[in-house]
Amino acid sequence: MPLRSVIAGCGGCLPAQVVTNEELAARHGLDTSDAWIRERSGITRRHFAGPGETAASMGAEAARRALAQAGIEAGEVDAVIVATATPDSAFPATAVHIQRLLGVTRGFGFDVSAACTGFIYALAIADSMLRTGQARCALVIGTEVYSRILDWTDRGTCVLFGDGAGAVVLRAEERADGRGILSTHLHADGRHADILHVEGTTGPLRMAGREVFKHAVTKLAAVVEEALAANGLPREAVDWLVPHQANIRIIEAMGRKLGLPPEQVVVTVDRHANTSAASVPLALAEAVEDGRIRKGDLVLLEAIGGGLTWGAALLRF
């Protein structure tokens, strides 16, 4: 029987502080409006970390929820792989801080830097390591505090991001029923590094929104086709699209491209804004928690972000 990486549980963590578009505009004296932000991005509000909330603390909480859903003890975890662009410290890695917060004392842990595509990268690495026997049970986490790297005078970027964390427990299992990660597809093209980047290590974030938008629509469309073709599956086989949550217009374009009705596309951007590497696992956790995504469903994940980096993963949940 083939060794597969199966998602055993998912969890999310959003900070308590919720900030609406109006509140954000008033707080920073921005020349913007709720109507503009909603119409151009689909965002109505976002969560921001409060004092003491960090990438590690939120990532650990999301991981606890994922472990609880999986019915797995922290002691069984032998790999922690964290995607983040906003780590607690240069080192130790956020993964190691999370290990400590969870009481995990064995195996290994490290961070992955691929901006908004980070969770797909982390999932691909974990999948490879599980299938080659380097670990048996991995926590794969995306966690971000972009509120700490934004320029509050730049209305073109500061209205688009939020904070949060999402996690999955990935377990190596011999399965004959087809469940597990089917394939992952990673890309990067450093020629476009300038259009979305963080200055130095502490920010602020800079983005040429219109250019990123154009790349997003074409590159995401290509990578989802690549994932389906690699598995010889038609578009109609997809039960759920769980896309990166940057802009509702990009998400809707991807849904149309796949011929999926809006009910089969998981959307959180309206309430979370763009939480970068946390957005895909947060959306996945929400749709699993509320019963939309069920065992055996074919789920397509995709994301694009600074680098440019982009990628997709196809899995049978």
Q: Which residues sit at the interface with ligand COA, rule CB under 6 A?
A: 32, 36-37, 40-41, 116, 155-156, 159, 209-210, 212-213, 216, 246-247, 250, 274, 304-305
Question: Counting Cβ atoms within 10 Å, is residue 290 exposed (0-12), middle (13-18) or buried (19+)?
Answer: exposed
Angle at 96 between CA 170 and CA 115, to 5 degrees: 70
Catalytic residue among 13, 116, 137, 158: 116
- Taking the complex as a whole, how short is the minimal distance between the CB of residue 32 and ligand COA, in angstroms? 3
Catalytic residue among 47, 97, 244, 272: 244
Q: Catalytic: 187? A: no
Torsion of CA 77, 58, 302, 74, to 10 degrees: 10
- Taking the complex as a whole, how short is the minimal distance between the CB of residue 155 and ligand COA, in angstroms? 4
**Residue 107 vs 156, nearer CB to ligand COA:** 156
Catalytic residue among 47, 185, 192, 274: 274
- Taking the complex as a whole, how short is the minimal distance between the CB of residue 107 and ligand COA, in angstroms? 30
Residue closest to ligand COA, measured at CB: 209
Please state the three-class secondary structure of 257-269 as a single string: HCCCCHHHECCCH
**Residue 131 vs 155, nearer CB to ligand COA:** 155
Q: Catalytic: 116? A: yes
Q: Catalytic: 244? A: yes
Three-state SS at 5: strand
Residue 139 to residue 227: CA distance in whole angstroms: 23
Tokens describing residue 226: 């690549």
Residue 36 to residue 24: CA distance in whole angstroms: 13
**Residue 5 vs 41, nearer CB to ligand COA:** 41
- Taking the complex as a whole, how short is the minimal distance between the CB of residue 215 and ligand COA, in angstroms? 9
- Helices 34-41 and 248-257 pack at an angle, to 10 degrees, of 20
Catalytic (active-site) positions? 116, 244, 274
